[in-house]
Structure 1
């Protein structure tokens, strides 16, 4: 297991390095002047030259990238101040440290990802298991049709309708906003409940359909039939044998989805005006803010890679047939 984790960690570092290089060099292919963006419209050449020097933009692009990598591990000195490790630079727009901005925005994204995952995992898997247990009945057909409808929905459409009905018209739920859970747990829950529900709609559809298919497949396996022939109860066969065989692919999907959500749920954050990493990434692209964009990309990539490593390691625990050789 230790060798596997070390090998996967080294591979993850290579992936993150490649993504950072591609993002960094593609930015300079865009016909724009970062110093001009940082300075504004009414800016003379001397001011642009000073900004380029302060931000290290007057060096060759490969040198800038090398300084960027060194700053992540050892910190970096700018004319505007020292940036401690992990240094992701300063924003071109407001001269704020990128790492501090990410840490300030990430609790919103983390709350959205964790809460949404709990909702769609519990509800989606439960619906799929009920449909598989009632295969061919009205309940199975109804739940399968409901999942198909949910899979066809879009977050920005459902979110807008839900805001209008549940918040503005009926007043059933509070208007979405992020409140630190350590400051007000009740306000945190009520402010994030609607985004959790809307975010989970599409995921619930995917997980219910996948769980149903996997459970039906497992219920037709020979070892499950043998357990039935031995006189075991339906509950024991369903949960001890069929469910255990179907859980591995579901765990894989959870790891991928959670990694993506930890990187930022852009559409959901925009729909409910939540200031998380997803919204920060979009703003960085539109403003051509390279340090902020690079920081969000690296942070999101790291979250996805770590989630996949954890999922692969859990395979050995869930399925004894898996060997991490």
Structure 2
């Protein structure tokens, strides 16, 4: 396994190098003068020169890239243009809300969608199967903001059970933290549940038609053991792939949901940075998301052996 991990990490190095180069060139490939975009229309020539010097735009392109690589090697993502705070510190402050939202969303998704997918496969072609697939179509079709505002109207405005917006840190208590994440987690889990349920159903249908499943049924295996131990475990590889990639996307920041519920996560940080043209933050967030996606893909690959014993590294 260690050899496999080392090879996977070596394979990821060219991807990381490409991402680093692309993120760096993104500032220079954008139309217009970056310094003028940051300073605004009423900026004086002196202010433009100061911004160019601060962003090292007054140096040759190769020199700028080398300076950025040196900063990255020291885990320095630069400083925000408007807040003058280190970009790495700003990202670390926003990780907790996004991470908690991602964990709650995936927990609800797995607990809700996987049993529905298993049930739909077991009763394939029946009323339960059609009901689950109908729910999946609804989950795919309804926009996120419609679900969000509908939940807010019912559970916050009419019933008053849950807060409308905001986020409470874990330091203020786990219940207060989770209470503010119920509505955004349900909002995000609706679309993800539709995807996971469909993938689970398709994988289970293929497994249930295998010869060893008929043998286990003939030997008198119970329904729960048949579905969970023999079928679901072997169908776990595609399900785990979808869950892992979805979790990585959530960690990258869910812009619409975080904006609706005023959650100070990575998504809100990215939107604010783009609106303010704070290029160091945009570059830092994109690099962070790329590395997270690569790391999650590696963990998903390593988890395959837990579900399918035939897989060896």
Pairwise same-fold verdict (TM > 0.5): yes
> What is the correspondence of 1:202-281 to structure 2 with a 5 Å cutoff?
202-281=191-270
Q: In structure 1, what is the Cα distance between the partners aligned to 2:300 and 2:94?
A: 26
1:144 and 2:133 are equivalent in the alignment: yes
Q: Secondary structure at the match of 1:94?
A: coil
SS in 2 for 1:157: helix
Cα drift, residue 37 of structure 1 = 4.4
| Contact 1:147 1:205 survives alignment (8 Å) | yes
Alignment match, 2:52: 52
Instruction: Tell me if the contact between 1:119 and 1:197 (Cα under 8 Å) persists in the aligned partners.
Output: yes
Contact 2:95 2:265 in 1 (8 A): yes
Say whether residues 1:302 and 2:291 are aligned partners.
yes
Q: Secondary structure at the match of 2:81?
A: coil
Q: Distance in 2 between matches of 1:133 and 1:111?
A: 33
Unaligned stretches of 5+ residues in structure 1: 75-85
Paired residue for 2:275, among 282, 286, 301?
Answer: 286
TM-superposed deviation, 1:225? 0.8
Residue aligned with 1:182, SS: helix
Q: 1:286 Cα shift? A: 3.2
SS in 2 for 1:175: coil
Equivalent position of 2:183 in the other structure: 194
In the aligned structure 2, how far is the partner of 1:35 from the partner of 1:255? 39
Contact 1:255–1:307 (CA<8 Å) still a contact in 2? Answer: yes
CA contact (8 A) 2:77 2:88 kept: yes
Cα separation, 1, equivalents of 2:198 and 2:31: 46
* 1:180-226 CA distance string (max 9 Å, x none): 11222121011111000111000111111221222122111111111
Shift of 1:273: 2.0
Equivalences, count: 313
Equivalent residue, structure 2, for 1:31:
31
What runs of 5+ residues in structure 2 fail to find an aligned partner? Answer: none
In structure 1, C-alpha distance between the alignment counterparts of 2:203 and 2:29, rounded to whole Å: 46
2:244/2:297 contact within 8 Å kept: yes
Contact 1:37 1:93 in 2 (8 A): no
After superposition, residues 73-92 of structure 1 pair within 5 angstroms as: 73-74=73-74, 86-92=75-81
Worse overlay, 277-286 or 194-203: 277-286
User: 1:18-44: CA deviations, max 9, x gaps?
Assistant: 112112213212233333344454432
What TM-score comes out, normalization by structure 2 length?
0.94
8 A Cα contact 2:216 2:226, kept in partner:
yes
Tell me how far apart the structure 2 counterparts of residues 285 and 95 of structure 1 sit (CA, whole Å): 16
- The equivalent residue for 1:12 is 12
